[in-house]
């Protein structure tokens, strides 16, 4: 990579930065930026202090069923996304506070049990309502609708548009007209599904950087975790190319390539060759890790039916207004207590299936398992964890 000296960072470079004074909130009279707490710093702190942020620490990134502190949870993942994105954003002259806010909040609506849990919950919601569930849309809902944190449009849009399942060789921001435009996109995502979600692009360069850094953060890390979980033997099964085949190489090589191809531009771009390598890396992760038949079988035999049993039990609790049930005590009353400060409507007035989805998606893996055991003590479905010593020789 060519060295970029500080004195070569021209004012033109910063014309693509999202400025703090451009921040837009639903309640424009609150949370005004100050010298020591600029607008997007406020977003970062709002996200960090949200109760659901704590739950990142026990939500599966990819590998469930393991008692192993070295296997990545979402708490580490969002930090890695933030760190990598800020490294790139600093060289590109972008707003690092906005990058951090998007990165730390991007998975706050994610389900327990990773993308398998997301798929199971989406199937149940679609069956009952004709709506799809996506964790990025739920992350916006958590911040904007459930807990009403008055987060900026720029942060919410970056979170909504982050979906790392859909890669691109070039990310050019698509400006938003305001919250009305944004709300229409959210509503469309519920009914139009993956075809619509895959075409969404962030409205800021900061959002574009976080989106691609989501992939950078998980591609190599998932390979590390797959080795720890004995899903694969080592990384030599993967193609190298320009991207490399292990975590440190992939982070470095993709980051450098982005900087070289995006510096001073109004878009984020990868070289054609590295983009093809990125696509290959994702394909091989799918082939060797995510769609591993052993992993898939465990999810389908235990977690999927547990989702189904929990979903309909909780839905029945709401329909029957069983105020002493867990969903009332642990979720509905909890949300209403927080909402009192903003004089919002009673949470129970929302659609029952949506409340169930809000509750389940907020759960950590361990809470999900314990709740299922509590509600269905005689169920044949159980999650059996692999201990630290099961593979000890």
Residue 294 has pLDDT above 90, yes or no: no
Q: Find out whether 241 and 55 touch, Cβ atoms under 8 Å.
A: no
Q: Please give the full DSSP string across 166-215, using - where no structure is assigned.
A: S--SEE-------HHHHHHHHHHHHHHTHHHHTT---SSHHHHHHHHHHH
Domain ranges of the chain: 6-28+36-295, 301-375
Query: Which CATH number is 6-28+36-295 given?
Result: 1.10.3210.10
Q: What CA–CA distances, in Å, run from 39 to 33, 97, 98, 152, 165?
A: 4, 9, 9, 8, 29
Residue 13 has pLDDT above 70, yes or no: no
The predicted pLDDT at position 234 comes to 81
What whole-number distance in Å separates Cα of residue 367 and Cα of residue 369? 5
Reading phi first (left if > 0) and then psi (alpha if -120 to 50, else beta), residue 230 is in: left
Nearest to 375 by CA among 334, 330, 332: 330
Mind listing the pLDDT tens digit for each residue in 198-214? Answer: 889 999 999 999 999 99
What whole-number distance in Å separates Cα of residue 267 and Cα of residue 209? 9
Question: How confident is the model over 349-365, as a mean pLDDT?
Answer: 97
pTM of the model: 0.93
Residue 7 has pLDDT above 80, yes or no: no
- Alpha carbon 315 to chain centroid distance? 25
Mind listing the pLDDT tens digit for each residue in 74-96? Answer: 999 999 999 999 999 999 999 99
- Please report, rounded to a whole number, the percentage of residues in the chain having pLDDT higher than 70: 94
Q: Please, which residues bridge with residue 73 across strands?
A: 60
Cite the DSSP H helix spans in the chain: 39-48, 74-92, 96-105, 114-129, 135-141, 153-160, 179-192, 194-197, 205-228, 247-262, 272-285, 293-298, 304-319, 326, 333-339, 352-362, 365-375
Question: How confident is the model over 129-158, as a mean pLDDT?
Answer: 96
At residue 352 the predicted structure's pLDDT band, cuts being 50, 70 and 90, is: very high
Between 96-110, 217-231, 289-303, the lowest mean confidence (pLDDT) is in 289-303
The predicted pLDDT at position 35 comes to 86
What average pLDDT does the structure give for the chain?
Answer: 91
Q: Please, which residues bridge with residue 171 across strands?
A: 268
Nearest to 201 by CA among 176, 222, 235: 176
Mind listing the pLDDT tens digit for each residue in 307-340? Answer: 999 999 999 999 999 999 999 999 999 999 988 7
Q: Which residue has the higher pLDDT, 84 or 295?
A: 84
């Amino acid at each position: 990579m060519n060295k970029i000296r500080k004195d070569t960072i021209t004012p033109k470079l910063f014309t693509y930065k999202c400025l703090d004074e451009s921040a837009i909130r639903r309640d424009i009279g609150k949370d005004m930026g100050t010298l020591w707490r600029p607008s997007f710093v406020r977003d970062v702190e709002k996200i960090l202090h949200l109760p659901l942020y704590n739950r990142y620490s026990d939500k599966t990134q990819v590998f469930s069923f393991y008692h192993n502190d070295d296997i990545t949870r979402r708490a580490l993942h969002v930090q890695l996304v933030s760190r990598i994105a800020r490294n790139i954003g600093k060289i590109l002259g972008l707003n690092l506070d906005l990058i951090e806010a998007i990165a730390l909040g991007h998975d706050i609506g994610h389900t327990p049990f990773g993308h398998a849990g997301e798929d199971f919950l989406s199937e149940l919601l679609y069956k009952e309502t004709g709506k799809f569930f996506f964790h990025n849309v739920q992350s916006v809902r958590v911040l904007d609708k459930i807990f009403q944190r008055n987060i900026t449009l720029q942060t919410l849009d970056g979170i909504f548009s982050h979906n790392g399942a859909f890669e691109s060789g070039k990310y050019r921001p698509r400006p938003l007209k305001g919250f009305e435009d944004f709300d229409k996109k959210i509503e469309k995502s519920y009914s139009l599904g993956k075809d619509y979600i895959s075409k969404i692009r962030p409205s800021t360069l900061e959002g574009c950087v976080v989106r691609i850094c989501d992939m950078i953060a998980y591609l190599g890390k998932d390979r590390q975790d797959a080795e720890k979980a004995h899903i694969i033997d080592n990384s030599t099964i993967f193609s190298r190319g320009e991207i490399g085949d292990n975590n440190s190489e992939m982070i470095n090589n993709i980051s450098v390539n982005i900087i070289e191809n995006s510096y001073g531009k109004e878009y984020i771009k990868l070289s054609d060759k590295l983009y093809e390598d990125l696509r290959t890396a994702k394909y091989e992760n799918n082939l060797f890790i995510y769609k591993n038949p052993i992993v898939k079988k465990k999810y389908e035999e235990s977690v999927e039916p547990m989702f189904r049993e929990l979903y309909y039990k909780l839905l029945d609790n709401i329909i029957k207004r069983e105020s002493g049930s867990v969903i009332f005590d642990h979720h509905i009353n909890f949300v209403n207590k927080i909402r009192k400060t903003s004089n919002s409507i009673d949470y129970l007035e929302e659609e029952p299936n949506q409340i169930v989805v809000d509750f389940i998606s907020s759960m950590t893996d361990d809470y999900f398992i314990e709740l299922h055991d509590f509600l269905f003590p005689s169920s044949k479905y159980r999650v059996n964890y692999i201990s630290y010593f099961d593979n000890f020789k």
